[in-house]
Structure 1
Amino acid sequence: MRNAGTVLHLQKVAGISGSEAHLLSLLPRLKERGWDVGFLMLHEHEPGAWDFARELTARGIELDAIPLAADVDPIAFVRIAAYLARRRPTILHTHLVHADVYGQLTGLIAGVPIRISTKHGFNEFRENPGFALGDRAIASLANAHIAISRGLARYLEDVEGFDGESFEIVHYGIEPDGAVRPYEGRVPRLLCVGRLIPIKGHLVLLRAFAAARRELPDLQLDIAGRGPLEPALRAVAKQLGVDDAVRFLGHVSPIQRAIEDSAVLVVPSMGEGFGMVALEAMERARPVIAAEIGGLGELVEDGVTGVLVPAGEPEQLARAIVRLGGDLALAASMGEAGRRRALDRFLQERCTDRTELVYREQLNGRLRKNGTFPTRPGHKSATEPG
């Protein structure tokens, strides 16, 4: 079947993180396969939003933007509805909470034939019963639901009351990035990458790191990322007596250089929908020590490509750090196994295949129901002969 109509992706963007990196990879691949792809960016004038916009348009994807004056912005709601009525996409694919709320409602009003929602991550606010009720109500407007890991689907079932089996699972993917540079350092260096916010588990990591250093005095830690917790984390590192061994790198892009400058990646998150940085480290042949939560357990094969530990437990995290930090040959061997796993199971091609499958299933379902499919003016229907 020829690809019919347009696919419009909608997301509120503040910078380039996991979901944005995913879209920067996915959307050009869909376009290469013949899909007419566009992106509508909601934003609050953050500089990082325009970084994303430049990256996406440089990759050949048409982008439009609508600002939000607040989380609830009636003017933006009207502008989005008018945009959809004018653009008339065949498929509207929303990502994250703001896009779900604005997009699924306006998509229904504007008569968008197929509406799809992707859930990307863990959030503390999901545990609020009122939010869960509202999120399920908005989700009922979508024709199909995607979760980026089976672990995230289970979390949404446990916390919000979704049917976990109703989600299509589409893992993020990665492109091979050339030859791998082996770790050349003489001391074990750890890397942690992520926004400096509570859910990322940096406090747990610092306590584990301090404990591990009592056995491995040469151990070093790099923390890449920015966020409101940075002053507190610096203070904790000093209080624990490890501030001389911890470097705060700030925002690092591209992250591959920092990964190759480290021996082991540590992901101590208290919640992680997928764990893209873990996959990036695996592709660079670095072992991953990760909390066994969300999608991380689907990425890291315990004892083979790294070590999984219970979330929020610094003692077990410290033992895993000592195990790999104290045996760099073992760490390198696990890193090579991780690279093989990444290239075998998590290539971007597979992610694009799975996304296309969801689109085609929805298109085919509508064709069976109606016998035809609406397209933009000037485009042939999918049932018309070539």
Structure 2
Amino acid sequence: MIESMRIGIVCYPSVGGSGVMATELGHELAKRGHEVHFITYAIPFRLRLQEKNIFFHEVEIDEYDLFQYPDYALTLAVKISEVAEENDLDILHTHYAIPHATSAYLARKILRKKRPKIITTLHGTDITLVGKNPSYSRIVKFSIEESDGVTAVSKDLKAKTQQHFGIEKEIEVIYNFFIPKPEVMGDKSLRGYFASEEEKLIIHASNFRPVKRALDVLRIYCRIKEKIGAKLLLVGSGEALGEVRKEVADKGIERSVHFLGHSREIDRFVAASDLFLLPSEQESFGLVALESMAYGIPVVASKVGGVPEVVEDGKTGFLAPVGAIDEMAEKALKILSDPILYETMSRNGQQRAGELFSPQRIVGEYEAYYRKILDTP
């Protein structure tokens, strides 16, 4: 039994993967008896404040005429220092390198007495996108190196971080986890709203940034539709969605493609579908692929980033090079047209998700890592 710890979690409260994982990690830690304090500018959308050992501290952002932009990093640092001092925190777990790890570093400098250990979890775009921006590169490197412990959500992200920033500090790989909802498992009740019994239901969910290659999703679907009856669900919102809508209209397939917009919980849509498409240009982990596997839905994805660490090619789905639209369509058709292969991949996916990416396993790894860092002088 690990002794109870007081943990501050600093994350984005939005629907992105880093915020989702930070929130679910906090809930699981609280269930294990740890005191968990969330510090951010809004209540994380999955945070259940009614649960025991969970606390929320709002960072208020004031705007002054002197500042052209809100000074979130500074107000966050002050709030972190206040919460750490008032609640005698042992650990500050920051998700995303900047500004969270940077603000935690400043907060610790403010504190005069007990200074909590800082653990920074790298989720992806803080390294592969923001971190490579010359305007931020040096502060990202500094914030990582000044953290007491650093974790990455995949081996690929660890390697990219070390290579790009020349990081010598040890980085621990701790994967993301996913908790499927028992009441959703095998629930196909939503299928009838979108597809007939003879049709296949294909899904993609993302924030529709260019890196997600949403037009590839549509074009893969169109090739599938040439061979079998199928409908497409697009869950989410983002800048790249406009060009997808335009191409759908140009092709005259408005009745075949369903734009569902932003959804806080996509579980039922995923569980009701037959296949998940993830042709991204970059994925540091691929949380939606894990979610799909957990519900027994095979995945066809790009062989990029951390995705091959999640999706086992040929066993829980298929992987192909980025932009290989014809190959992805061919592999999707192979899965959808072969009931025996489909059932095998579905079963393999659930088994892999349950064994390698369960909360019992991953949260235990975080607990052990916290204790290791706390025991290090």
TM-score band, normalised by shorter chain: 0.7 to 0.9
Match of 1:207 among 212, 215, 219: 219
State the match for 2:3 in structure 1: 3
1:56 aligns with 2:48: yes
CA RMSD of aligned residues (A): 2.5
Higher relative contact order, chain-length normalized (CA < 8 Å, sep 6+): 1
1:175-190 to structure 2, matched below 5 A, reads 175-178=179-182, 180-181=185-186, 185-190=197-202
Q: Is the 8 A contact 2:299 2:316 kept in 1?
A: yes
| Residues 283-292 or 229-238, more deviating | 229-238
Match of 2:359 among 345, 348, 367: 348
Displacement over 6 Å in runs of 4+ = none
**C-alpha spacing 1:196/1:89, structure 2 compared with 1 (3 Å):** same
Q: Secondary structure at the match of 2:118?
A: strand
State the match for 1:109 in structure 2: 110
- 1:187-230 residue CA offsets vs partner (Å, 9 max, x unmatched): 121111111211222122122222333333x1221111122332
1:22-101 to structure 2, matched below 5 A, reads 22-41=21-40, 43=41, 49-50=42-43, 52=45, 55-60=47-52, 61-68=54-61, 70=69, 72-73=71-72, 74-96=74-96, 97-101=98-102
1:355: how far off?
A: 0.2
State the match for 1:315 in structure 2: 326
Aligned equivalents of 2:137, 2:271: Cα separation in 1? 40
- 1:230-275 residue CA offsets vs partner (Å, 9 max, x unmatched): 2222012223454332111112343221112211111122222222
Match of 1:233 among 238, 244, 253: 244
Q: Secondary structure at the match of 1:127?
A: coil
Number of corresponding residues: 356
Aligned equivalents of 2:167, 2:15: Cα separation in 1? 28
1:285: how far off?
A: 0.9
**C-alpha spacing 1:262/1:176, structure 2 compared with 1 (3 Å):** closer
Which residue identity is paired with 1:188? K
Q: Secondary structure at the match of 2:136?
A: helix
Q: Is the 8 A contact 1:263 1:331 kept in 2?
A: no
Which residue identity is paired with 1:319? E
Which residue identity is paired with 1:58? Q
Q: What is the percentage of aligned positions where both structures have the same residue? A: 25
Q: TM-score if structure 2 supplies the norm length?
A: 0.86
Please list every run of 5 or more consecutive structure 2 residues that lacks an aligned counterpart in the other structure: 63-68, 192-196
Aligned equivalents of 2:259, 2:364: Cα separation in 1? 38
| Residues 188-197 or 173-182, more deviating | 173-182
Aligned equivalents of 2:351, 2:28: Cα separation in 1? 23
Q: Is the 8 A contact 2:154 2:173 kept in 1?
A: yes
Q: Secondary structure at the match of 2:56?
A: strand
State the match for 1:142 in structure 2: 147
Aligned equivalents of 1:16, 1:85: Cα separation in 2? 29
- 1:70-108 residue CA offsets vs partner (Å, 9 max, x unmatched): 464444444443443444312111111221221222224
Aligned equivalents of 1:145, 1:311: Cα separation in 2? 29
Aligned equivalents of 1:10, 1:182: Cα separation in 2? 34
Q: TM-score if structure 1 supplies the norm length?
A: 0.84
Q: Is the 8 A contact 1:263 1:328 kept in 2?
A: no
Aligned equivalents of 1:294, 1:71: Cα separation in 2? 33
State the match for 1:171 in structure 2: 175
1:173: how far off?
A: 1.5
1:372-383 to structure 2, matched below 5 A, reads none
